[in-house]
Chain A
């Protein structure tokens, strides 16, 4: 018998390839909208926020949506192709981490490029609360925060999709209520999300709590997926 071909690594690769395509579409639209807005809103006497600040919020919601879609578009398909649930779970975790990093890298990179060319085209762009241009440590700090935020949003979306799939609409709606609480907690832990209404915590408390939140979401999603019935 040949070895297992739908290993977590293989599933992660296939998922990532597909999700990267979606992400490119999303980022392209985001980029075009930003260019249109910035060309109107910014001039010699007015400045406009940079791309990362502009799309912060949208990119989180985008991750939430692809998290929700994971179950309906990928889980069912991979189960039909003979994948084990735990392999799909691990594959999704790997691909979601990669997507969270990728979307963050691309957004920051585009922001840098736009700032670089803004002088030539006469735009006046400034960073707002998310400032990563002042120093290297600020850059790393913001980068990690953004990547973690994207990952958490994906995991919350995945949890909502899985709850609807496994337990039906009533529990599904409950999971949405739950996710609003989780998004608020995320907003407190990571002070740059568009849900950050409350005072933020110092990093030495927020960072371990963020890790705890991520591990908790991994656990909840694994519990939901590990023996779920594949519906036909």
Chain B
């Protein structure tokens, strides 16, 4: 079971600051969506609206065909996982895991316990005694084991070490195979997570910068390397997002569809064409207007 999401003209103001500016997009159900953006781009704000923590005043949000705000069915099926302040949370981990079935109809307690064990979360400790990484791992454990049709992870891995993050990513893929759901991931650790995403939505300054499937995105980013003059001549009409010089050799990154005919022409000019990772695209597309 998984929810589809449709956002139309969503605009959010924080006093006079426009945090989100007429967002329009659709997220298909049963996929892993990467919501990428720089710090302050509006990722968390958007996710808070999708999780019905906020009521949308300008624009509409439709989840699984219905307005999610105060919609019992939709919010029961939505998990929002983020870094929580556990200073005053004195419950034992064991008790917390036991209690989730009160709230989430598809919660798998055995799986949660197994995951907690693999994340090395001490079951006998109370939540306020956990380290930052352990606390994040606990939230992720609950998020994954709740098996809600819409699961939102907002920078959920904060403080987790590399092996724990690796385990998290692996479990996402396994769980997605077993119980497909709509997963939203907000992150700026793009390089190590990009293989998880089926679709990517990049938000910049409160606006949708692009929305593509992973494959489409990989087809649109190219690096072109070769003698300076040839590279410049070839990329004159293309959208260059980054360039580097090394002696007489120039390497540029371009964004946009490059037809096969163009690619052959580049080879004839002695240029080398490579693909760009989502990370590279993300870094350079969201850096426009800044010093490269």
Contacts and interface: CB of A to CB of B under 8 A. Distances in A.
Interface of A: 1-2, 4-6, 10, 14, 79-87, 226-227, 229-232
B54 A229 contact: yes
A6 B102 CA distance: 8
Nearest to B106: A2
Interface in B60-113: 69-73, 75-80, 82, 84, 100, 102-105
Nearest to A78: B103
Given A5-B103, A6-B103, A229-B53, A82 B77 contact: yes
A168 B49 CA distance: 21
Interface of B: 1, 44, 48, 53-55, 69-73, 75-80, 82, 84, 100, 102-105, 148
Contacts of A10: 102
B73 A4 contact: yes
Given A81-B103, A86-B70, A229-B53, A1 B1 contact: yes
Contact of A80 (B44, B54, B80): B80
A92 B217 CA distance: 49
Contact of A4 (B44, B54, B76): B76
A232 B48 contact: yes
Nearest to B76: A82
A84 B69 CA distance: 8
A88 B112 CA distance: 26
Nearest to B71: A84
29 contacts: A1-B1, A2-B105, A4-B72, A4-B76, A5-B76, A5-B103, A5-B104, A6-B72, A6-B76, A14-B102, A80-B80, A81-B100, A81-B102, A82-B75, A82-B77, A82-B79, A82-B103, A82-B104, A82-B148, A84-B71, A226-B70, A227-B69, A229-B54, A230-B48, A230-B53, A232-B44, A232-B48, A232-B53, A232-B84
B46 to A, nearest CB: 13
* Dominant secondary structure at the A interface: loop
Nearest to A231: B53
Contacts, number: 58
A85 B75 CA distance: 10
Contacts of B76: 4-6, 82
Nearest to A230: B53
Contacts of B82: 232
Nearest to A228: B55
Contacts of A4: 72-73, 76
A85 B72 CA distance: 9
Nearest to B70: A84
Nearest to B48: A232
Contacts of A231: 53
B53 A79 contact: yes
B49 to A, nearest CB: 10
Nearest to A73: B88
A5 B102 contact: yes
Contacts of B77: 1, 82
A172 to B, nearest CB: 19
B139 to A, nearest CB: 10
Given A82-B79, A84-B70, A87-B72, 9 more contacts: A1-B73, A1-B77, A5-B76, A5-B102, A81-B103, A226-B70, A227-B69, A232-B44, A232-B48
Contacts of B1: 1
B73 to A, nearest CB: 6
A156 to B, nearest CB: 24
Nearest to A1: B73
Nearest to B47: A232
A80 B69 CA distance: 14
A83 B53 contact: no
Given A2-B105, A5-B102, A232-B82, A84 B75 contact: yes
Contacts of A79: 53
Most buried by A among B72, B77, B82: B72
A81 B82 CA distance: 13
